[in-house]
Structure 1
């Protein structure tokens, strides 16, 4: 390792070591693989094929392939890091090891926002499928009070399964994982054997790519495709409870490859199995499928209305799976949320009480918090597609740090033990960063503005808690700055973003989005918002850091994290300018906007890689693992 690390007053990793040692290391390679399988095969397989087909037509097959190809580079980057640093809640702890407290707080907060919403989204998906035979659970595409109650009961069940220990949840999940592999596989095999309409692939109006290439990319973050692929991270988040580091690496890769194949084949089968007369939609009108009879249960309805006895019989099994698959993902993500909170406490962003374990050796208060927050998130996002798009945006944003973290660790800890050492790591890291940035960019301004507002809303907590307790900053300065920040953020977001952009497009009730005609006032409003927010983030962060007792260390961590702030605003500005904005005629048309976004992401990758630092947390972690 190079360069001496800082020696701050409060290194969260030192407190976390004792809790880390108490975690039960009970998961083998197949348990890790089935955590990945269980997390990836959830509601995504039930709804993703319909949403993708309605957006991109038959070319949705390409959307799955492109997303799978892009995401695998992100998974590879994290596989090396996860093998080197097998830590529970790892994805929120790695930024702390490589870029210090400022970057790790932003990334940890964003990851928390995404993780906490997955369990309720899976509960919503299960209830949506149940409404195929219990229509009183849904009304106009939204959960009824009874539907919300049933979804809440499922979230409580997810909590209880986690509460009694990782060995119980892990072994249960491995058993359910086999079901999750068999049922989707049988689904595409049966459909391809008994219900194919080959004309659907290219013989209808518009051909194979009826809505253009931009819709192929748009489908990736907004229809559940990227959401379905996000589950690879579970092997990393549970890595502190794996028996060996190699189990984390190979379990993650194995699970990802298996599920990618299944998802692509499901989309191929869905496209070919669409029966236009049974769906009561004119042939080739793919967009209308989202509001057809298929919307409540895509694969179930295709099979039930196929007129083929075998498929109609199998449709009953799909109704059972519609509860099992989302539930399996839901209980994994209750655990993921708990380990995210645990990881933030290990980073020093939350009180050390969140490191406490219950008698079953799982994080006590983080698991309880995951339950409470999961129940609350049933309320603001009553539809599966809305919540999955939000989750995709916030989660993939946190993956942007994977490439820079990979290269920073290669530089700061070149001799650390690595069960897997990637060839051409700099290239893989660059592609991983570009891939994550593009998926965030493609998620559209429609969802991105809200995700970024919530990510930025977390910074006052950094001022009030982390800066004060870890770096010795003035408590008064942190509290006053945080309160002023929140007030300005709320006012600016409401008047400069929500009223001129979000409200006229119908957010969050209407899909698809109503497009706007670009007016000079739109540019004034947006530029004003960006200037105000950048000034606040930079100004308050530097001000609170300047009051720190360990000012030099605080500034060092802040400096290492500026590239994350640059990433946030770069994605936001490009989203406003490009073809995924809310304007009828974008300022930068497709594909030039995506090319520019890729080049910006490459610049951010280089910036992030060279701004990484050697932190005391990394030194402590490596010593504890015997990796130095």
Structure 2
């Protein structure tokens, strides 16, 4: 088969957005955020800022999805707005770290929490790889198999999360809530042992940026739905709707979950949660000793569904790059089920290698700078494309244009600038990985041109 089959409706696309966003982050990263900001007001504000940025970016991407309703998503947007090199650098970073290391991290999270329910398995990297292989196989059987699994699991985990939040708010402790709101806007460091560290005014902004690394990672991958535009029914309309609905639902879940955490746990309890497992600590308060098992089961479902969406969407980027002569040629082929099977298995191999390396977590922390940088460039591309292609059909236009896109870019620049100054370890590894793609790009282009030159000679 040479073309994708449009078989995903609005509900399926929305569940891909929400399912890809909700992995294990919301159950864990609030501990590190609390250690960085030290107060309930700033904890919730970090999540609110991240949610606003994510929703703003998603509403902006809706215009690009309608303008280029085909597989490839952000890679295509960058290539069309700027040049093939920038598109390739995104695709290169996406394959080497952003997508494959995320798949590995989510797979290992699944294995760790499975160990709560089945201790005999241990926190096995083998189990993580087995799940990645299983989900890859399911997705090679056609997009219908992947979408059914994704939609079912995402609806299940959303209902479960809302249920957890409802039970938590019902069990809210008034004394803890009142104590947490005392000095709610005092920005300071709070160690796991309770030590308080004051910040100078400018350094305080650096602490907020460092805190947002976790919330941005937890909110990432919302744009994966744009990678599979060629398989979405009525993509010019449904991509924008799915982006808006999916990110809005997840933003509500994340804010509500953190309100619930602070209603049942003191800030010190959040900051010192064992292995940062805030949700486990909260569930033990809400449900008693059985709370650990409840959260373990919820995270198993959440990470399983998240990885299915990541695996399904990621391979479409490599497929589109191959069609442009910028990736392995076989990744640009579809199997009899109309999916890029070779691209799926290549992604599986690379993600499995990250599982074995154990370095995916460090790299994901360090890639936040690059991820936000590409988001800013993509959103800036809306302005460029409106000038380059003023008469192009735009079924959906960026909400709040030009104010909201400009605001996102300014917030992104502030975030990245603060990381450069105060947390350089979160910036240089991602930059190096991205820039390594430049010589790779020119090598691939040279090889492609050489192959084009050989073909006519062979024909003669």
Tell me the TM-score normalized by structure 1.
Answer: 0.64
Which residue of 2 is the match for residue 65 of structure 1? 48
SS in 1 for 2:29: helix
CA RMSD, aligned part only?
2.7
Partner SS, residue 266 of structure 1: helix
**1:157 counterpart (119, 123, 134):** 134
- Give 1:397 shift: 2.7
Distance 2:148 2:127 in 1: 25
Q: Is the 8 A contact 1:23 1:362 kept in 2?
A: yes
Query: Would you say 1:417 and 2:370 are equivalent positions?
Result: no
How far off is 1:468 after superposition?
A: 4.8
Residue 399 of structure 1 and its aligned partner are, at CA, apart by 1.3
Q: Trace 1:130-145 onto structure 2 (pairs within 5 A).
A: 130-132=114-116
Contact 1:74 1:433 in 2 (8 A): no
How many angstroms does 1:23 deviate by? 0.4
Structure 1 equivalent of residue 83 of structure 2: 100
What's 2:111 paired with?
Answer: 127
Listed one character per residue, the Cα deviations across residues 47-80 of structure 1 (whole Å, up to 9, x for unaligned) are: 1223322322322111000111122222122111
Where does residue 180 of structure 2 map in the other structure?
201
Look up the match of 1:334. 311
Verify the 8 A CA contact 1:110 1:395 in the aligned structure 2.
no
**Residue aligning to 2:403:** 427
Distance between the aligned counterparts of 1:392 and 1:88, measured in 2? 24
From the superposition, tell whether residues 101 and 257 of structure 1 become closer, same or farther in structure 2 (CA, over 3 Å). same
CA distance in 2, matches of 1:326, 1:296: 17
In structure 2, runs of 5+ residues without a counterpart are 190-198, 455-460
Query: Distance in 2 between the 1:40 and 1:349 partners?
Result: 28
Q: CA deviation at 1:169?
A: 0.7
Query: Paired residue for 1:302, among 282, 285, 289?
Result: 282
User: What's the TM-score once normalised by structure 2's chain length?
Assistant: 0.86
2:32 counterpart (41, 51, 58) = 51
Query: Could you tell me how far apart the structure 2 residues matched to 1:238 and 1:373 are?
Result: 20
CA drift at 1:407: 1.3
Between 1 and 2, higher relative CO (CA 8 Å, sep ≥ 6) is seen in 2
Report the number of matched residues. 431
Aligned residue number for residue 373 of structure 2? 397
Equivalent runs, 1:584-623 vs 2, <5 Å = none
Higher Cα Rg, which structure: 1
Secondary structure at 1:378 match in 2: helix
Give the superposition deviation at 1:372. Answer: 0.3
Residue 25 of structure 1, CA deviation: 0.4
Aligned to 1:192: 169
Distance 1:474 1:380 in 2: 40
How far apart, in 1, do the equivalents of 2:11 and 2:239 lie? Answer: 9
Please give the alpha-carbon distance, in whole angstroms, between the structure 2 residues aligned to 1:23 and 1:234. 16
Q: Does 1:183 align with 2:175?
A: no
CA contact (8 A) 2:367 2:429 kept: no
Query: In terms of mean alpha carbon deviation, does 122-131 or 159-168 score higher?
Result: 122-131
Q: Within the alignment, does 1:148 sit opposite 2:139 as a pair?
A: no
Runs of 5+ unmatched residues, structure 1: 1-17, 276-282, 476-628
Mapped to 1, the partners of 2:412 and 2:321 lie a distance apart of 22
Aligned equivalent of 1:557: none
Kindly indicate whether the alpha-carbon contact (under 8 Å) linking 2:114 and 2:296 is maintained by their aligned counterparts in 1. yes
Given that 2:62 and 2:398 are in contact with CA atoms closer than 8 Å, whether structure 1 keeps it comes out as: no
- Aligned to 2:396, what secondary structure does the other structure show? coil
2-side partners of 1:71 and 1:423: how far apart? 13
Q: Post-superposition shift, 1:232? A: 1.6
Shift of 1:216: 2.6
Q: How does 1:200-279 map to 2 (within 5 A)?
A: 200-203=179-182, 208-211=186-189, 213-214=204-205, 215-221=207-213, 223=214, 225-244=215-234, 245-274=236-265
Alpha-carbon offset, residue 94 of structure 1: 1.5
Contact 1:90 1:343 (C-alpha < 8 Å) held by counterparts: no
Residue 95 to residue 298, structure 1, CA distance change in 2 (3 Å): same
> Contact 1:111 / 1:394 at 8 angstroms: preserved in 2?
no
Is 1:454 paired with 2:433? yes
- Where 2:356 maps in the other structure, the secondary structure is coil
| 1:274/1:415 CA distance change after superposition, 3 Å | same
Please tell me whether the aligned partners of residues 93 and 347 of structure 1 are also in contact (alpha carbons under 8 angstroms): no
Match of 2:356 in 1: 379
Cα gap change, 1:467 to 1:434, in 2 (>3 Å): farther
CA contact (8 A) 1:114 1:390 kept: no
Distance 1:24 1:311, change over 3 A: farther
Range 317-326 or range 390-399, more displaced: 390-399
Structure 2 equivalent of residue 39 of structure 1: 20
Give 1:234 shift: 2.0
Partner of 2:98: 114
Residue 457 and residue 200 in structure 1: after superposition, are their counterparts in 2 closer, same or farther (change >3 A)? Answer: farther
